[in-house]
Amino acid sequence: MFEQFAPDTTISLENEPPLVLVVEDDRTTRMLLRRAMEKEGYRVAEATDGEQALADYNHLQPDIVLLDAVMPVMDGFTCCRHLQALPGGDRTPLLIITSLDDPESVDRAFEVGASDYVTKPIHWAVLRQRVRRLIQQSHLYKQLEAANQKLRRLASLDGLTQVANRRLFDERFEKEWLRLAREQASLSLIMCDVDFFKAYNDTYGHQAGDECLQQVARAITESVRRPADLVARYGGEEFAVILPNTEAAGAVQVAESIRKRVEALAIVHATSTASKYITVSLGVGSVIPVPSSLSATLILAADKALYQAKASGRDAVVLMQ
């Protein structure tokens, strides 16, 4: 039977109960700890020394670790320090169980990263409460961290098209410019504009215009496959694609793929003079960044190529040489 908590402090048991890793070399104490934790409804794994605990932690990813301070092979203090260095270890509660209650040992426990400690002989009610509190705090922290990650992701997305927004574009473009200037490798940029989009909005309405932009954004995203590439809404009906480590020929190929995919959507546009369907014009710029130059030079080059694509009749790809 699991104890119920208030909604804002509930331990989530939607999938499985929390997993407690008990690290204790004494068989009797280890068995008592297992029984106490299982009585609280937790799952329990056991390790007999610090080295085994480190190995078990990596594949079990427990919700909390109960560590005996005095063990052979590797003591609890040393194990605690090593656990802190493992991926996720600094976010997992570590509770040291020790027969050492002198101030120096207590200070040492916290110095190596312990979240709390209890002394032997174990006061079982105290242990249960501290384990419960630490797991609650850990779960709340993870929920907060997940919420913050979601907020950061939402802050970087364009609400309508769900591709990167202008803010993320600016940050990533500057970062890639500096990186590729150091590496002396190519950086390409595609500027993409929906042809006669104002006329489309005026003819079919803003809701249809929004749906059109969403479909175009998906078509662009489907043409850009590498994780390092970035599709962003640059503004209005204009999109931008950052292509790190990509030379001009490769960027033109991606741009042509985008043009064809948008054309294949067959979104009727009766007032376009370029086609009876929605089309896009694309300008491509490509350069090996120079550390002393400004990243805006590549944006200007791609913009100029986009202007030429429009001037040539639209529904076209132009590379700025």
Choosing from 171, 237, 238, 256, the catalytic residue is 237
Unique residue bearing structure tokens 């609650």:
136
Interatomic CA distance for residues 119 and 247, integer angstroms: 64
Scored b (16 or more CB within 10 A) or e, 216-254 reads bbbbbbebbeeeebbbbbbeebbbbbbbbbbebeebbeb
Nearest to 199, CA basis, from 307, 303, 314: 314
List Cα–Cα distances, 15 to 19, 93, 293, in angstroms.
12, 20, 54
Task: Say if CB 74 and CB 105 are below 8 A apart.
Answer: no
Clarify whether 237 is annotated catalytic. Answer: yes
Where does the chain have alpha helices with state H?
A: 27-39, 50-60, 76-85, 103-111, 124-155, 166-183, 197-204, 206-223, 248-264, 296-311
Phi, psi of 73 (to 5 degrees): 70, -65
Task: Say if CB 192 and CB 314 are below 8 A apart.
Answer: no
Nearest to 280, CA basis, from 243, 231, 229, 247: 231
Task: Say if CB 169 and CB 156 are below 8 A apart.
Answer: no
Task: Say if CB 53 and CB 67 are below 8 A apart.
Answer: yes
Q: Which residues are designated catalytic?
A: 237
